[in-house]
Amino acid sequence: MLREREVILNELAQGLRPMPEGIVWFESLAEEERRAALHELSLFCGQARATKEDAAEAIARSGIRPTHTPAVMAGLGRFHMSGLPSYEHIKAFRLLVALLGIADARRRERSWVGGCSHEWHRLSRERDLGTPTT
């Protein structure tokens, strides 16, 4: 069963939850929890096979500048951003959510054409049916 944080992160990446709501949620977390969420996002990006080529589109989607530290790191293929200073967390969060959305959509399009059994890929269906996801 997915934990609440996993659900929120995946809903954001899949466009099922608006980013402004995600930012409010992320900012409400204690610093240690924000770092844990960034770490989880980076792991999810790895599982979805995010590439440094995806970074340009993720930077554009996230609305951060290409010169911001998280954008530079992503352009180099470095997605583990939980060690960044706290003032970079929101930028890293926005970028990693966008990156996960791009990589995960591509992976589902190519690898899971006939469907998928991953819980995080059934969130929209469960939402439509009113099934609890946490």
pLDDT greater than 90 at residue 132: no
What is the reported pTM?
0.82
* Averaged pLDDT of the chain: 87
Residue type, 96: L
Q: List pLDDT tens digits, range 60-107.
A: 999 999 999 999 999 999 999 999 999 999 999 999 999 999 999 998
In 3D space, the residue among 30, 43, 24 whose CA is nearest the CA of residue 120 turns out to be 43
Angle between helices 19-28 and 89-111 (to 10 degrees): 130
Name the nearest CA neighbour of 39 among 9, 7, 69, 76.
Answer: 9
**pLDDT-derived band of residue 46, with 50, 70 and 90 as boundaries?**
very high
Domain boundaries, the chain: 4-129
pLDDT at 110: 74
Question: Is residue 99 a contact partner of residue 29, using CB atoms and an 8 Å limit?
Answer: no
